[in-house]
């Protein structure tokens, strides 16, 4: 009796690399999350992951963790991202692999960073190391979707978030009518704060600031506060709004040229009448922000959808009917039959395959 195994041996170890890499969630930025294992005679003899930008890469930790270094000459090194070949904050991992005479390297995916992109693989091959590339490639790219989008598309990874009623309204028409509890209960708030802590920036329009006076922080979770971005065309948000407090840094994108009075605020000028979403993502790219979560309102969300500048939409859906109100943003129709994860109250849409 035997079982057919769908996962081959390389996939098994790259899967372990991905698992190790995730230990770095939230601490490696602007570097990617990377995991590495070293296998000798079907046994893992070393493991490591990249913990923090400026610190050693995954392969260095994996190699250092091997007790008997002589075994490296008969081992395979697995790594979820192509070993680097440049002097950045740390020296090239490719040189380290060559110096330890590791005969075989299995890689999840190539590195999109121009300093590396294929050069790490070349260096290994030129030193007669057997290289296999592309094991669980999709999973390895997905692990670092922000890093890949930033380097390949020259813009941050863009997540849209909103809540809507069963009849697709975002809010009642008048502020006097309270939003139903589900639109903002303590559980949805906590998950939203967790999401915020995973991104480098959070963006809203002027109306959201003036209507809701949000803080846009991660106070119901933990981790870093993202940089707050507000589209404030006419510089109409006064210093009394929470978004201008000192809990996090704020970037105001405006048509006006003015100096922010608070030291945690900076201002960037933009032409609001001409392809605003593209100008905004260009500014975020220049500021090296690899991801942004857009939390509204309707006009802002819809402008990014219409410009096709989004990667993921996270929509809280309620069974409650509002019957009237501010209509929810509309995603392209094709997505409703495409990839969609459906939960009772949360739908996820992806703008890529």
Mark the binding-site residues for NADP(+), compressed into ranges: 163, 182, 208, 212, 297-303
Measured between alpha carbons, how far is 46 from 63 in angstroms, rounded to an integer?
6
Measured between alpha carbons, how far is 287 from 285 in angstroms, rounded to an integer?
5
Task: Decide if 74 is catalytic.
Answer: no
Binding site for Zn ion (CB under 5 A): 57, 84, 93
- Reported as half-sphere exposure (CB side, CA atoms, 13 A), residue 238 has a value of 1
- Supply the minimum distance, in Å, between the C-beta of residue 27 and ligand AOF: 11
Cα distances from 241 to residues 214, 228, 238, 291, 309, in angstroms, run 8, 13, 6, 24, 28
Window of 5-13, 51-59, 237-245, 254-262 that interacts with ligand AOF by CB under 6 A: 51-59
Among residues 47, 59, 164, 199, the one annotated as catalytic is 59
φ, ψ of residue 35 to 5 degrees: the values are: -125, 155
Q: Is 35 left (phi over 0), alpha (psi -120 to 50) or beta?
A: beta
15-34 binders of ligand AOF (CB under 6 A): 31-32, 34
79-118 binders of ligand AOF (CB under 6 A): 81, 83-84, 88-90, 93, 111, 113, 116
Among positions 15, 29, 59, 108, the unique one binding ligand AOF when judged by CB under 6 A: 59
**Binding-site partner at residue 32 among Zn ion, ligand AOF, none, CB < 5 to 8 Å by type:** ligand AOF
**Residue 57 binds ligand AOF (CB under 6 A):** yes
Cα distances from 6 to residues 10, 11, 134, 173, in angstroms, run 11, 9, 17, 53
Residue reference for tokens 């995603």 = 331
- Cβ–Cβ contacts within 10 Å for residue 230, how many? 24
Identify which of residues 34 and 204 has a Cβ nearer to ligand AOF in the complex: 34
Identify which of residues 111 and 198 has a Cβ nearer to ligand AOF in the complex: 111
Binding stretches for ligand AOF (CB under 6 A): 31-32, 34, 50, 53, 57-59, 81, 83-84, 88-90, 93, 111, 113, 116
């Amino acid at each position: 009796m035997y079982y057919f195994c769908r996962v081959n041996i390389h996939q098994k170890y790259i899967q372990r690399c991905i698992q190790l890499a995730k230990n770095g969630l939230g601490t490696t930025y602007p570097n990617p999350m990377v995991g590495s294992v070293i296998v000798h005679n079907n046994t893992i003899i070393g493991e490591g992951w990249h913990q923090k930008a400026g610190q050693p890469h995954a392969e260095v930790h994996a190699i250092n963790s091997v007790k008997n270094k002589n075994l490296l000459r008969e081992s395979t090194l697995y790594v979820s991202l192509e070993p680097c070949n440049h002097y950045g904050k740390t020296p090239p991992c490719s040189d380290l692999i060559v110096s330890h005479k590791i005969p075989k390297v299995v890689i999840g995916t190539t590195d999109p960073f121009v300093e590396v992109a294929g050069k790490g693989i070349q260096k290994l091959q030129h030193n007669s190391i057997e290289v296999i590339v592309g094991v669980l490639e999709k999973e390895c790219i997905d692990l670092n979707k922000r890093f890949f989008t930033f380097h390949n598309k020259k813009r941050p990874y863009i997540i849209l978030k909103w809540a809507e009623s069963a009849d697709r309204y975002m809010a009642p028409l008048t502020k006097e009518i309270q939003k139903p509890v589900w639109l903002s209960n303590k559980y949805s708030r906590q998950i939203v704060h967790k999401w915020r802590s995973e991104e480098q920036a959070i963006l809203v329009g002027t109306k959201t600031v003036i209507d809701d006076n949000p803080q846009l922080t991660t106070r119901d979770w933990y981790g870093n506060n993202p940089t707050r971005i507000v589209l404030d065309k006419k510089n109409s948000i006064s210093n009394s709004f929470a978004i201008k407090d000192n809990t996090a840094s704020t970037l105001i994108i405006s048509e006006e040229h003015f100096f922010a009075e608070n030291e945690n605020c900076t201002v960037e000028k933009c032409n609001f009448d001409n392809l605003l979403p593209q100008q905004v993502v260009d500014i975020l790219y220049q500021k090296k922000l690899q991801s942004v979560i857009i939390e509204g309102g309707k006009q802002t969300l819809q402008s990014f959808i219409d410009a096709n500048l989004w990667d993921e939409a996270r929509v809280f859906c309620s069974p409650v009917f509002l019957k009237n109100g501010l209509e929810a943003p509309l995603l392209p129709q094709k997505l409703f039959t495409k990839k969609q994860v459906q939960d009772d109250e949360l739908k996820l849409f992806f703008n890529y395959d």
